[in-house]
Amino acid sequence: MKKHLVWLTLSLLPGTVFAYDYPTFDRVQFVLECAQKYPPYNYYGSLYKCSCAIDEIAKKIKYDDYVEFSTSLRGQKTAGEGGGIFRDPKEIKEQAKRYEEIRAQAEKACLLK
């Protein structure tokens, strides 16, 4: 009975239990890219701060949104005609901007900036 009550309680909490569920691969990829952006690379301080940043991002957006938003931002940097599908639509521009804002807040909170 107690087990069912716990699951019922957890299922009623909107997103609090599973909101931070990012795959390890994506967390590691973010941290490594971030550490390259904020040298010295391989310095534990940078790795720690970048790990903090992805944790902050995960607190603010669900994983599916993270993938969509970060893809929008990366796609906007694609040169040529192929990148137009990321540069032209208003929705994608807004997603990229939202991700940039969330990432900037996370980097500031984690003392990267």
Could you give the C-alpha distances from 42 to 34, 35, 52, 92, 103, in angstroms and in order?
Answer: 11, 7, 15, 33, 21
Half-sphere exposure at residue 98, Cβ-oriented, CA atoms within 13 angstroms: 16
Q: What is the pLDDT of residue 15?
A: 46
pLDDT of 30-41, one tens digit each? 999 998 888 776
Handedness of CA 18, 25, 54, 63 (dihedral sign): negative
Structure tokens at 72: 């929008």
Q: How confident is the model at residue 17 (pLDDT cuts 50, 70, 90)?
A: very low
Write the pLDDT tens digit of every residue in 52-84: 999 999 999 999 999 999 988 888 777 777 777
Cβ–Cβ < 8 Å for 101, 70: no
Name which residue leads in pLDDT, 6 or 101.
101
The better pLDDT of the pair 107, 93 is held by 107
**Is pLDDT above 70 for 1?**
no
Of 5 and 101, more confident: 101
98-101 long-range CB contacts below 8 Å, 24 or more apart?
98/69, 99/66, 99/69, 99/70, 99/72, 99/73, 100/73
8 Å CB contact between 109 and 56 = yes
- pTM for the whole thing? 0.75
